[in-house]
Amino acid sequence: MKSEETVIEVENLTKKFGEFTAVNEISFKTYKGEIFGFLGANGAGKTTAMKMLIGISKPTSGEASVTGLDVYSQPDRIKRNIGYMSQKFSMYDDLTIKENITFFGGIYGLERKTIKTKIQEIIESLGLEDVANKLVGALPLGWKQKLAFSVALLHEPKIVFLDEPTGGVDPITRRQFWELIYKQASQGTTIFVTTHYMDEAEYCDRVSIMVEGKIEALDTPKNLKKEFGANSMDGVFLKLARNVE
């Protein structure tokens, strides 16, 4: 469910570390219900850009707002209004599935009753009935990631940031994860996702590709392939990123 309602607006956003410019005047918008792929080779500046958008790093210059909130003056409100999930941060291994959901629900300030309902919904939708009282540490990585995605959405944010959410899992599980992403986007949640898997880039509504701090391309996968004369996103990516790899 894409719409014209903007969820992120970025204008000339820049981050310097001393003399080094990690993010160099990037500009883009993302819309309600859009799956926005944020690509780039290692070191291109994706994480640095994302950190500014989720309110944990102050930009050097430029403008950015997320869900209408300004990254300079309202970073704490941004943190409460977004979902975030990274490959590195998962659930607490030594808590059960139910305990993890309860814990994160508490952090998000949800009421006890709402948390109970959410537990039921998540367990049902992910088919985790048989393992709901098992420690998360015992779950396969793919299940953990699906659970982490659901937990990132507990407080029903307008946007969720996914930092390489499917790293290290097999193609079938990755496909299932993307089905969850599609479902969520169709309900109006904006998905901002970084990935190194080019097949996943094909699933995005639009893709931006960063090269050495700049956004060098931004369009639908179909248009990018046309623009760069490539028959896959892999081809597009290689043409753009080849010089710096």
Ligand X SMILES: Nc1ncnc2c1ncn2[C@@H]1O[C@H](COP(=O)(O)OP(=O)(O)OP(=O)(O)O)[C@@H](O)[C@H]1O
Q: Which residues bind ligand X (CB under 6 A)?
A: 17, 20, 22, 40, 42-48
Q: Distances from the Cα of 218 to the Cαs of 13, 43, 145, in angstroms?
A: 16, 18, 27
Is 4 or 20 the residue whose CB approaches ligand X more closely?
Answer: 20
As measured in angstroms, the least distance from the Cβ of 13 to ligand X is 13
| 224 SS3 class | helix
Distances (CA, A) of 195 to 24, 40, 97: 20, 8, 26
Smallest separation (angstroms) from ligand X to the CB of 243: 15
Shortest Å, Cβ 135 to ligand X: 29
Q: Measured between alpha carbons, how far is 117 from 132 in angstroms, rounded to an integer?
A: 14
Cβ distance to ligand X smaller for residue 47 or 208? 47
Question: How far apart (Å, rounded) are the C-alpha atoms in residues 148 and 211?
Answer: 29
- Distance of alpha carbon 33 from the chain centroid: 13
- Cite the beta strand spans of 94-231 per DSSP E: 159-163, 190-194, 206-211, 214-219
Give min distance, CB of 152 to ligand X, in A: 19
Q: In angstroms, what is the minimal distance from the CB of 198 to ligand X? A: 14
Nearer to ligand X, 18 or 109 (CB): 18
Q: Whose Cβ is closer to ligand X: residue 44's or residue 236's? A: 44
Give me the residue label for tokens 């309902």: 117
Nearer to ligand X, 43 or 140 (CB): 43
